[in-house]
Structure 1
Amino acid sequence: MKVRLALILLVLSLSCDSGGTNRNPFLQEVSFRFDLNLNLPLYSNLNNIGNPVYVSNDAVGTRGAFVMKTGLDTFFAFEASCPNHAPNNCSTMTIDGQNVVCSCEGFTYNLFTGQQLDRPDDGARYYDLLFYRAVQSGNSVIISN
């Protein structure tokens, strides 16, 4: 019985993956919390589904965040720095409808899903947008990581 238990424990310990997580190597995960008051004109677009807002505050993420209302009570927030290279002078993306575009390579990402829409088929590893938590509380949307 002890031999079986030892064998089972050995198999389980060898089958565990000790590799790191599959996180984006280009973007640091910074902790923050920022409240967006939906009564302010700056964030009034967030009262309607599908109207993204760029939050350029230095206290939000690496290069700010894109926030969009995606359902009646649902908001998504994503890092504004392109996830496929280190932050630099061209890595802050711009809004193009319900997508964002990186001016470095022209990569396009969807703000409803965070997915890269024009992923090259060159065998290289490409990352989707870095997701931040976004929760509505009364007339505010709280984004955090």
Structure 2
Amino acid sequence: MKHFWSFALLILLISCSSDSTNRNPYLQEVSFRFELNLNLPLYSDLNTIGNPVYVGNSGVGTRGAFVIKSSLDTYYAFEASCPNHAPNDCSTMTIDGQNVVCSCEGYTYSLFTGQQLDRPDDGKRYYDLLFYKATQSGNVVIISN
């Protein structure tokens, strides 16, 4: 019986996990799937490394998504709403080269890493861009969450 309880305790400890994922309290993660045809003029900039495109279609994320080609066959997609406050009138970011800028506070984020580039050193918690999955299939890039 002693071995049974030891075994049960071991199973309990192994099955418990510590989810260290930091969920953003400002942005709700919505499910979506959207295809970008690279043959269309609207998305042709994605054929070149470092040219970001804003996808503002309804049903794509909360406020749309930014997509960028980072290497020969790698694409990144990020939520277009600023991750450091609830969505509002000024929270849809704008493209500035290979970065995006939130017009509410002026925070800048890299589209290659998703990281906030000008994080204040004030002890508060700041979030990086919300990442979406981006995969290429032929001449189509599929972004999804």
TM-score of the superposed pair, with normalisation by structure 2: 0.91
Alpha-carbon distance, 1:19 to partner: 6.8
Deviations 1:106-139 (A, max 9, x none): 0000000000000000000000000000001111
Structure 1 stretches of 4+ moved >2 Å: 3-8, 10-14, 16-21
Cα separation, 2, equivalents of 1:3 and 1:120: 54
Q: Counterpart of 2:46? A: 46
Q: Does the residue aligned with 1:25 lie in a helix, a strand or coil?
A: coil
1:36 aligns with 36
Whole-angstrom CA distance in 2 between matches of 1:8 and 1:103? 54
1:13: Cα distance to partner? Answer: 3.7
Q: What amino acid maps onto 2:78 in structure 1? A: F
Distance verdict in 2 for CA 1:39–1:19, change over 3 Å: closer
Rounded to whole Å, the distance in 2 between the matches of 1:129 and 1:55 is: 15
User: 2:87: which partner in 1?
Assistant: 87
1-structure distance, mates of 2:115, 2:143: 19
Query: For each residue in 1:55-82, what CA deviation from the matched residue of structure 2 results, as whole angstroms up to 9, or x when unmatched?
Result: 0101100000000000100000000000
- What are structure 1's unaligned runs of at least 5 residues? none
What are the equivalent positions in structure 2 for 1:35-114 lying under 5 Å apart? 35-114=35-114
Distance 2:28 2:81 in 1: 11
TM-score (norm 1): 0.91
Q: Distance in 1 between matches of 2:139 and 2:123?
A: 45
Counterpart residue type for residue 96 of structure 2: D
Q: State percent identity of aligned pairs.
A: 78
